[in-house]
Amino acid sequence: MNATCINEIETPCELSKADRDHFRAQGYVKIKDLLSPETLAYYEQAITRKVFELNRTHEIPLEQRSTYDKAFLQVTNVLEHCETVRELVMSPRLGRLAAELMGTRGVRLYHDQALYKEAGGGHTPWHADQQYWPLASDRICTLWLPLQAVPLEMGPLAFAPGSHRFTQGRDLEISDHSEATLARLLPENGYGDAVEAFDLGEGSFHYGWTFHHAPPNRSGKPRHVMTVIYMDVDMRLQEPENSRQVNDRNGWCPGIKVGDIIDSPRNPVIWEA
């Protein structure tokens, strides 16, 4: 345990009105100085150890993998494997920002995931996350927290501003088909593509229905990113609408009945007013 890091992740930081308004109007926001370089470096070490212990995809050559497996090494609920990672995922400072952005009285964990785009890793196809989630409202968002700076050539997360209100293509799971379809549909319907570098300490929050993607990693260095998916503390389970949502219900909402608040042991309250 590192007392300086704990102090930082527990200390609130102020959300500006401009950032809140941007999130609600555009469906995402990038915020600078979420955490200090020292704190990011501390948690990066713990997360990286677990990613390479728990994910073996990196042993398969990139050219032999699917588009999905070329895009990133993915490890979910890292907090269940490491107390240090748990501290970061359960950070009240970050959870409070998520609640204030969404306008909820608190947030619970849906799940976390590390998303490491290797050097030479492929693009992340266009998609919206909420098609995977059996949830009764849209009060859910992802914190995408790079553990180093992400220049353009490293594959920063990129968003279609305002697309959380666009309802076509929502059912397309991450694939070559979602990439081809949404790369056509979004501009046809007037949505742009905001691709921007992330400074060290900068992270983004996006709604479950905001369309996003990431370019390939051509930087020659790995892109290490941690994500935390926060849902409204009062979020209820809805009847799953596809097989992906059935998997998520079983995995992330164990024992919860349709219509009930998702308060399983896997969904601890991270921050409450």
Which residues of the shown chain bind ligand AKG in the complex (CB under 6 A)?
A: 71-72, 115, 117, 124, 129, 142, 144, 157, 212, 214, 225, 227
For ligand AKG, the closer CB: 144 or 209 = 144
Q: What is the token pair recorded at 64? A: 């032999």
Taking each continuous run of H as one helix and of E as one strand, the counts in the chain are 8, 10
Q: CA 103 → CA 135, 139, 238, 254, 272, distances in Å?
A: 17, 8, 21, 26, 12
- Residue 8 or residue 129: which is nearer to ligand AKG going by CB? 129
In the complex, least distance from residue 273 CB atom to ligand AKG, rounded to whole angstroms: 26
Least distance CB 129 / ligand AKG (angstroms): 5
Task: Choose among 93, 89, 186: nearest CA to 142.
Answer: 89
CB of 6 to ligand AKG, least distance (A): 25
Q: Which is nearer to ligand AKG, 200 or 261 (CB)?
A: 200
3-state secondary structure (DSSP) of residue 226 = strand
3-class DSSP state for residue 250? helix
Closer residue to ligand AKG (CB): 105 or 177: 177
CB of 155 to ligand AKG, least distance (A): 6
Distance in Å, CB of 170 to ligand AKG, minimum = 14
Q: 38 or 52, CB closer to ligand AKG?
A: 52
- Using alpha carbons, select from 224, 219, 194 the residue that is nearest to residue 25: 194
Question: Is 249 strand, coil or helix?
Answer: helix
